[in-house]
Structure 1
């Protein structure tokens, strides 16, 4: 017998785009340190100059948090882009195989939406990298917003075309959709992609001072938000019916947690829209209303976390696919909920509880709640590193020697 080296990722699946998505999300969790812990007067987000000032004049704990944040953003943004490029190349090669043709004739065709989802995350991530590492970027940011909207709109057209191909096939052909295999929330991936594009389009609404740019951003982001909600509602209700009849598909079980990142992305989108409506159109949302919106979304997240983790435990998913020998690209779907929960907790604590005066910033209750966000972040870092080793590290496999 001879030993050959292979790795699970050699059997390509579009769900590997979730590896890029998870790394990009982790870079956002580090940006939360800068967003809520250092002063950034004059603009709604911290920029290079704010960070430099914090490093030169801030306290030692603040300086340490800034250094950790910058290192985390740099490392995981690089990981995000590296994984995105690898996936795009692998997808291009995959499209020339019979396996791709087979995939486009099954329910799994919806997994192709992981590509625009990850690409949208990368654009969001690169904007963060520009803010924190490029001096003077804010002085030209108004010129960048239209370009960003064009880029996100292009991704939106890509996503809508993929959804159109998929829905056109299954809604026009009898028996093209396997209801029995619909026993997970995997079909909500297109909704997640639409929401990620929508949150990217909403960024100019929160940051631009040009009323036309804000108005266009509000309209475009609203379309993708509504489309995401409609798609999620239909896919979620039909999937729950299938799961009640057939149980949950084990390999797709992590998708039960997809509502967690969906709520975070839509929550940020609504916050950005509210800010744009306030600054440009004299529409006001109170701090109490913001707290309640974020609190309700957090409640949905906790409910589906409890549901999903219960089912995953019953199915032995972690034993087999995270800590065991089995490998499934769908395991990367476990990263997004932890990342999303961390980001949502930061927003709920700072925009909700601190914003209403329920707790004081940097008080003991503040750090106790923030610790939950940091714990979720640390666990997801460990999970990403574990999954990357599991899926991308070559492992020896026995192969028969040719007969002599």
Structure 2
């Protein structure tokens, strides 16, 4: 029996999350490299125009990007459906009640986190694949707000139940805090915030835009509050006891959070500029904010890489024979850094005329992003072979309880 069915944990939702993120990362090439003068994001008609009037280079790039978008979107949906079926079975088993009474209950936040990614992926597929859909987009934005409101309600339900148990029953295991898995709710909240920020930026109806802003504000505030509560606790435990080896990927959890915060900022600032101030967003502002966030990601990435390399994490759980479901947490940082880098290259460097579009420097920066994407895809396939299928080799029992290490 495949391990996915035999040893299911909610952290398997991260496999679907990673595939959805990769689909979005390929969309970034279309977002920033093909013309879309009549809409804030490329649509079906813009893609058609590439094949009508643009050169062979842009056509090849568009074709490869579309293949990546569709392939990983299909993978995302298939893995998501498999997770939903398995999660429904798990809820009827004693293992679920045990999960609900442990620190591992926080991993249930992977469900709304992944569902929020699904809405983003479907929005991209609709814009690119359905002719004329963008002309009706103002009718779709209210449904987008409703979808993210429902996902946000689910996130608050899981989180509220978890927090209420911790406070009322003193149900938190303080010995199991030497990793950053407990920051997972903040990741889910920022993913929902960036979803609300999309209609805030793109809708021309003030009421819809403002409702999107309010939703983004609420979930950004929830994320910030939880980080302020849990980050010091986990960091102190790591300094006391050292990092739990399977919790290595949690050192990188801030990378996707920074990306989501950066995109949310760009969207909210654009919405405020266009709909409330009737002006254009100054690109110098995005250069500073996105530059700082990318710098923070690079610092966090180097520190995490150094620690995991010293602990032998990659040799053991990526290239070796040991298996650990939280290893899927290695995918989101690669996706997130590539996506925010694309925003920084174009919103921070091209729009400020620091770098010229399609210049050698511009292409070199994209080559670095592409290399990161390729390495991330390679890692995802390696983990899928080991964790989603029937393992060909025996593997040791994990050092820590996997359900309590929500590495994302």
What SS does the aligned partner of 1:320 have? Answer: helix
Query: 2:96, 2:371 → 1: CA distance?
Result: 39
From 224, 233, 257, the counterpart of 1:238: 233
Shift of 1:397: 7.7
What pairs with 1:363-378 in structure 2 (closer than 5 Å)? Answer: 363-378=359-374
Query: 2:58, 2:354 → 1: CA distance?
Result: 23
Q: Contact 2:321/2:393 (CA < 8 Å) preserved in 1? A: no
Tell me the residue number matched to 2:84: 88
From 39, 53, 58, the counterpart of 2:54: 58
Query: 2:238, 2:312 → 1: CA distance?
Result: 17
Query: 2:149, 2:358 → 1: CA distance?
Result: 39
What SS does the aligned partner of 1:394 have? Answer: coil
Q: Does structure 1 residue 18 correspond to structure 2 residue 7?
A: no
Q: Kindly provide the CA deviation profile for residues 172-204 of structure 1, in whole angstroms up to 9, marking residues without a partner as x.
A: 223x11122111110111100011011111100
What pairs with 1:203-218 in structure 2 (closer than 5 Å)? Answer: 203-218=198-213
Q: Kindly provide the CA deviation profile for residues 8-60 of structure 1, in whole angstroms up to 9, marking residues without a partner as x.
A: 55201111000000000000111011001100011110000000000121111
Q: Kindly provide the CA deviation profile for residues 354-384 of structure 1, in whole angstroms up to 9, marking residues without a partner as x.
A: 1111111111111111211111111111111
Query: 1:185, 1:389 → 2: CA distance?
Result: 26
Residues 397, 286 of structure 1: CA spacing in aligned structure 2 closer, same or farther, 3 A cutoff? closer
From 351, 355, 358, the counterpart of 1:359: 355
Shift of 1:117: 0.3
TM-score, normalised by the number of residues in structure 2 = 0.94
Tell me the residue number matched to 2:272: 277
More displaced, 385-394 or 23-32?
A: 385-394
What pairs with 1:150-169 in structure 2 (closer than 5 Å)? Answer: 150-169=146-165
Tell me the residue number matched to 2:257: 262
Q: Contact 2:385/2:391 (CA < 8 Å) preserved in 1? A: no
Q: Contact 1:277/1:284 (CA < 8 Å) preserved in 2? A: no
What pairs with 1:118-133 in structure 2 (closer than 5 Å)? Answer: 118-133=114-129
Query: 1:161, 1:8 → 2: CA distance?
Result: 26
Shift of 1:319: 1.1
Query: 1:7, 1:105 → 2: CA distance?
Result: 24
Query: 2:356, 2:266 → 1: CA distance?
Result: 21
Q: Does structure 1 residue 199 correspond to structure 2 residue 194?
A: yes
Q: Kindly provide the CA deviation profile for residues 93-117 of structure 1, in whole angstroms up to 9, marking residues without a partner as x.
A: 1111111111111111100000000
Q: Kindly provide the CA deviation profile for residues 192-238 of structure 1, in whole angstroms up to 9, marking residues without a partner as x.
A: 00110111111001111111100111111111111112212322221
What pairs with 1:180-199 in structure 2 (closer than 5 Å)? Answer: 180-199=175-194
What SS does the aligned partner of 1:44 have? Answer: coil
From 35, 50, 66, the counterpart of 2:31: 35
Q: Does structure 1 residue 179 correspond to structure 2 residue 186?
A: no
Tell me the residue number matched to 2:403: none
Q: Kindly provide the CA deviation profile for residues 256-303 of structure 1, in whole angstroms up to 9, marking residues without a partner as x.
A: 100000000111011011111111101654211110000111111111
Query: 1:293, 1:387 → 2: CA distance?
Result: 34
Query: 1:47, 1:195 → 2: CA distance?
Result: 26
Residues 6, 151 of structure 1: CA spacing in aligned structure 2 closer, same or farther, 3 A cutoff? closer
Shift of 1:345: 0.8
Gaps of 5+ in 1: 399-404
From 101, 105, 116, the counterpart of 1:105: 101
Tell me the residue number matched to 1:68: 64
Query: 1:28, 1:35 → 2: CA distance?
Result: 10
Aligned residues: 393
Q: Does structure 1 residue 320 correspond to structure 2 residue 316?
A: yes
What SS does the aligned partner of 1:78 have? Answer: helix
Residues 58, 72 of structure 1: CA spacing in aligned structure 2 closer, same or farther, 3 A cutoff? same
Query: 2:372, 2:210 → 1: CA distance?
Result: 35
Query: 1:116, 1:8 → 2: CA distance?
Result: 20
Query: 2:327, 2:269 → 1: CA distance?
Result: 35
Query: 1:302, 1:230 → 2: CA distance?
Result: 24
Shift of 1:254: 0.5
From 248, 254, 259, the counterpart of 1:253: 248
Shift of 1:7: 2.7
Gaps of 5+ in 2: 395-408
Tell me the residue number matched to 1:382: 378
Residues 6, 24 of structure 1: CA spacing in aligned structure 2 closer, same or farther, 3 A cutoff? closer
Query: 1:360, 1:234 → 2: CA distance?
Result: 43
Q: Contact 1:338/1:377 (CA < 8 Å) preserved in 2? A: yes
